[in-house]
Structure 1
């Protein structure tokens, strides 16, 4: 069963690539439309940018923060050969919450909705880590 953790991990990788693609697309469009000078992207400063540039860039950066803890813990489950239905459920829940978080962040960006999905995903990773430790004791 532990190999099934690869599926939510893979979906997180897909999410990262999708958000990365949206970020690049928004940047090219901003330069093409004349909203942002290409020089802005050298140091990411010195000019006001459209909201979509900030949202996609920050969301892309978010994909390398808490999800890193998720990748590590799932990899440890697989490496240790630990089969845990609880881990599988929380891995999927984390991934779904991160997709929802990204959708909220990039679209209507309601701070409370975004914070709740972020916090719920954060708790999922904590449950994964605690469960892993309990399995190894």
Structure 2
């Protein structure tokens, strides 16, 4: 079960990086550090995207962390598919962040999000299926 802790921590590190990035891109506006000559923020284009992406990290990701904790607490024999799906989720979140912050490609962002979504849904589906079979 402890193998799930590593992808969970990787997501925490992603969120930490996004908080640091958001602090950096807000610095010209909040602290006046790095303002353009006209007083504007040179990072305005990515500041709102970074903020939105950070908020996204606390939406569907909640279900990822919950299923990981449930699997760890239950102490079930963990199938390798759970670890693989957890990494699909985390890598997908990283790619999703890059796409959302660095581009305006909503179609690609949607595709990447769907992979994240399906990975967590599959983890829940497998867990429920195993639980139902175990109770039968």
Q: TM-score, normalised by structure 2?
A: 0.86
Q: Is the radius of gyration larger for structure 1 or structure 2?
A: 2
* Aligned counterpart in structure 1 of residue 129 of structure 2, from 94, 116, 134: 134
Tell me how far 1:110 sits from its aligned partner.
1.1
Q: Over aligned residues, Cα RMSD in angstroms?
A: 1.4
Which runs of at least 4 in structure 1 moved beyond 6 Å after TM superposition? Answer: none
* Aligned counterpart in structure 2 of residue 80 of structure 1, from 70, 74, 79: 74
Structure 1, unaligned runs of 5 or more:
37-48
Question: Which residue pairs with 1:35 in the alignment?
Answer: 40
Q: Which has the higher contact order (CA 8 A, sep 6+)?
A: 1
Question: Which residue pairs with 2:87 in the alignment?
Answer: 92
Q: TM-score, normalised by structure 1?
A: 0.85
CA distances 1:84-124 after superposition (whole Å, capped 9, x unpaired): 21111100111000000001111123111111000110011
Structure 2, unaligned runs of 5 or more:
none
Question: Which residue pairs with 1:44 in the alignment?
Answer: none
Question: Which residue pairs with 1:120 in the alignment?
Answer: 115
